[in-house]
Amino acid sequence: MSKKNYFNLQPSETAIFQAAVNIYTSYIVAGQVTDENQTEKMKEAIADSISMARYVEKIVESDDQISGEARQRLSNTVREEDSIPHM
């Protein structure tokens, strides 16, 4: 009988995992993955997804990081934009 593995990934870990899978899949589709380099390409996909997550975290403020006053200003701005007719 094979050993079972159990995981309890946090939401951020799950997001990075999903991004890494998408990147790795694109390598496979592009014909870049061989038997010899599959581990290397997997590690590259993971590193790329972590780099992207760090960059997103650097340039985007999440709702949790915005103060109450800033959140209210943002909310007012969104309401104003919603009232403007879009062409």
pLDDT in tens, 1-31: 689 999 999 999 999 999 999 999 999 999 9
pLDDT in tens, 53-80: 999 988 887 766 656 665 566 566 655 5
48 — pLDDT class (breaks 50, 70, 90): very high
Q: Which residues contact 63 (CB under 8 A, 6 or more apart)?
A: 71
Of 64 and 42, the one with more pLDDT: 42
- DSSP count for the chain of H helices, then E strands: 3, 0
- Give the per-residue pLDDT at 2: 82
The dihedral of CA 62, 64, 69, 72: what is its sign? positive
52 — pLDDT class (breaks 50, 70, 90): very high
What is the pTM (predicted TM-score) of this model? 0.66
Spans of all domains in the chain: 11-83
| Residue 82 pLDDT greater than 90, yes or no | no
